[in-house]
C-alpha cells in the first residue's frame, strides 16, 4: 500500500465510523475558517516532490510538502510558483495554501492558485483516492474537479497531491513608488494594467502607489521610464511583507478592529468604510481594518459585486461568519456538492459555514 493509499484508508475508516475529521497541515492558516470539531488528520505525512521537469513547466508534489521546500527546488532551476502563495509560517504546506485558495500580489497578472493547478489526487469523503486533471497544460477530460478543490477548505476532499504550472523567474523585478491618494491610485492601477507593460503587482498602502515590473531588464527599464515616479529600493522585501501580512498595515492585531479581505471589481471606487485600507491586486483585493459591524461591511461589498472574508475577528463575536454568506439557491447547490463528495459529512464539517 502506498502512503497515499494508507492515508486514504484512514479517511475510509472514518467514513465507515461517521467520524468527523479535522484536516490539518502545519496550522499556518487555521485562523481562516470556523473551528472544526473532529479527529485530526495530518496531511504532512504525504510530503515530497513527486516529479519536476523544468522544461515541462510543471511540478508535482504531495499535499503535505512544505511550500518553502517546493520554492527552493524551483528556485534552483530559476523557476517559481507564479501565484506567489502566502505562507503565513515557514511550515506552510502546499495542500494548505491550495485548500485555502490563497494567492499573492502577482495574482491579477500571472493567475491565481486555481489558475495554475493542472491536476490533483484527492481523497474524497468516502476515502477514495481519485486522480483528476494531469500534468499537462491543456486537459478537458471530465469536470475540472482539481480546480474545484482550490478554496474548498478541505470540505470536498483532501488534496493528496497536486501538479502546478510553474514559470521562469523574471530576469529582473523593480518597484516604483508614486505619491497619490487611494482614488488616484485605483485609477492609475487600472490604467497601467490596460497597457502592454510588464506589470506584476500594484498596491496602495494609504499614501503611496507601488507598482512592480518584472521581466527582461530592457523591457522593465522601458516601462520604468514610461511610468515615472521614484524607484523603491526594497522591492522584494516590500512584496514579501504585503504577501505575508508583515507590512506595517497589518501590524495591529487587537480587540478594537477586525481585519477583512474584500474582493471587489478592480475599478471599484473607495468604499468609504470607516477604518484603514490597503489596496492590492491592482484594486481587486482590499484589506480593511475597521470596527464596523460585519453586516455593514458585507452589505457595502455586496453592493459593488464583491464579497468579504473575515481574517481577524477583533471586536466581532466569534460566531460572525468568516466567509460571505451565500444566496439560498447557491447554498443549496453547495450542500448538494458537499454531499456528492462527502456523503457522511466528515471532511472539515462546518469549516466554511459554521453549521455543518
Partner 1 sequence: MTAFHSLLQALQQILSPHQLLHRDEELIPYECDGLSAYREKPMLVALPDRVEQVQAVLRLCAEHQTPVVARGAGTGLSGGALPNREGVLLSLARFNRILDIDPVARIARVQPGVRNLAISEAVAEYGLYYAPDPSSQIACTIGGNVAENSGGVHCLKYGLTVHNVLGVKLLTIDGELLEIGGAALDSAGYDLLALITGSEGMLGVIVEVTVKLLPKPLVTKVLLAAFDDVEAAGKSVSEIIAEGVIPGGLEMMDNMSIRAAEDFVHAGYPTDAAAILLCELDGTDAEVEAQMHIVQAVLKTRGATDVRLAADDAERMRFWSGRKNAFPAVGRISPDYYCMDGTIPRHALPQVLCGIADLSAQYELPVANVFHAGDGNMHPLILYDANIPGELERTEELGGRILELCVEVGGTITGEHGVGMEKIDQMCVQFASAELTQFHAVKAAFDPAGLLNPGKAVPTLHRCAEFGAMHVHHGALPHPELERF
Interaction between residue 240 and partner 1 (CB under 8 A) = no
Q: Which of residues 254-313 bind partner 1 (CB under 8 A)?
A: 263-267, 281, 284-285, 305-307, 309
**Minimum CB distance to partner 1 smaller for 72 or for 195:** 195
CB closer to partner 1, 43 vs 285: 285
DSSP secondary-structure letter at 222? H
What is the C-alpha R_g of the chain? 21
Contact between 28 and partner 1 by CB under 8 A: the answer reads: no
How many beta carbons lie within 10 A of that of residue 41, not counting itself?
Answer: 22
Q: How far is the CB of 132 from partner 1 (least distance, A)?
A: 7
CA 215 – CA 211 distance, rounded (Å):
14
Choosing from 6, 216, 230, 231, the residue that interacts with partner 1 (CB under 8 A) is 216
**70 to 109: interface string for partner 1, x by CB under 8 A:** --------x----------------------x-----xx-
318 binds partner 1 (CB under 8 A): no
Q: Which of 50, 73, 80, 167 binds partner 1 (CB under 8 A)?
A: 167
Q: With contacts defined by CB under 8 A, how many residues of the chain interact with partner 1? A: 83
Helix (H) or strand (E) holding 70: helix 67-76
Side by side, which strands form the sheet with 199-204? 230-232, 172-179, 208-215, 199-204, 276-280, 285-290, 258-263, 307-312
Three-state SS string across 130-146, please? EEEECCCCCCCCCCCHH
Candidates 16, 17, 136, 299: give the one binding partner 1 (CB under 8 A): 136
Give the residue from 97, 124, 88 showing the smallest Cα distance to 246.
88
List the one residue from 7, 83, 88, 323 that touches partner 1 (CB under 8 A): 323
**H or E stretch including 309?**
strand 307-312
Among 12, 41, 148, 160, binds partner 1 (CB under 8 A): 148
Beta bridge mates, 129: 123
- For partner 1, the closer of residues 64 and 82 by Cβ is 82
In the complex, minimum distance from the CB of residue 318 to partner 1, in angstroms, rounded to a whole number? 20
Site for partner 1 in 196-215 (CB under 8 A): 196-198, 215
Binding to partner 1 in span 32-61, by CB under 8 A: 53-58
Distance of closest approach, residue 96 Cβ to partner 1, in angstroms:
17
Binding of residue 233 to partner 1 (CB under 8 A): no
Q: Which is nearer to partner 1, 53 or 207 (CB)?
A: 53
Amino acid at each position: 500500500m502506498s502512503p497515499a493509499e494508507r492515508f486514504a484508508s484512514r479517511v475510509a475508516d472514518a467514513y465507515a465510523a461517521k467520524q468527523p475529521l479535522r484536516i490539518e497541515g502545519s496550522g499556518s492558516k487555521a485562523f481562516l475558517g470556523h473551528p472544526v470539531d473532529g479527529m485530526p488528520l495530518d496531511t504532512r505525512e504525504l510530503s515530497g516532490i513527486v516529479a519536476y521537469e523544468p522544461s515541462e513547466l510543471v511540478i508535482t508534489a504531495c499535499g503535505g510538502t512544505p511550500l518553502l521546500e517546493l520554492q527552493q527546488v524551483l528556485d534552483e532551476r530559476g523557476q517559481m510558483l507564479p501565484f506567489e502563495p502566502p505562507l503565513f509560517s515557514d511550515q506552510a504546506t502546499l495542500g494548505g495554501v491550495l485548500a485555502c485558495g490563497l494567492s499573492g500580489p502577482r495574482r491579477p497578472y500571472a493567475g491565481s492558485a486555481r489558475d495554475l493547478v493542472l491536476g490533483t489526487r484527492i481523497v474524497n469523503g468516502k476515502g477514495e483516492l481519485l486522480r483528476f486533471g494531469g500534468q499537462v497544460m491543456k486537459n478537458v477530460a471530465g469536470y475540472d474537479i482539481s480546480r474545484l478543490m482550490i478554496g474548498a477548505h478541505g470540505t470536498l476532499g483532501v488534496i493528496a497531491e497536486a501538479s502546478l504550472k510553474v514559470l521562469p523567474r523574471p530576469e529582473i523585478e523593480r518597484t516604483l513608488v508614486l505619491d497619490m491618494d487611494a482614488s488616484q491610485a485605483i485609477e492609475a492601477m487600472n490604467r497601467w494594467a490596460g497597457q502592454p507593460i510588464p506589470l506584476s503587482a500594484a498596491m496602495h498602502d494609504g499614501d503611496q502607489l507601488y507598482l512592480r515590473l518584472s521581466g527582461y531588464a530592457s523591457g522593465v527599464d522601458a516601462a520604468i521610464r514610461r511610468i515615472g515616479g521614484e524607484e523603491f529600493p526594497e522591492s522584494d522585501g516590500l512584496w514579501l511583507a504585503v504577501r505575508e501580512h508583515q507590512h506595517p498595515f497589518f501590524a495591529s492585531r487587537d480587540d478594537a478592529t477586525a481585519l477583512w479581505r474584500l474582493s471587489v471589481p478592480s475599478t471599484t471606487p473607495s468604499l468609504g468604510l470607516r477604518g484603514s485600507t490597503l489596496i492590492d491586486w491592482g484594486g481587486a483585493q482590499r484589506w480593511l481594518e475597521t470596527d464596523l459591524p460585519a453586516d455593514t461591511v458585507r452589505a457595502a461589498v455586496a453592493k459593488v459585486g464583491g464579497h468579504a472574508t473575515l481574517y481577524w475577528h477583533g471586536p466581532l463575536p466569534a460566531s460572525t461568519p468568516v466567509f460571505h454568506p451565500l444566496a439560498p439557491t447557491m447554498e443549496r447547490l453547495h450542500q448538494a456538492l458537499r454531499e456528492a463528495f462527502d456523503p457522511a459529512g466528515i471532511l472539515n464539517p462546518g469549516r466554511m459555514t459554521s453549521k455543518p
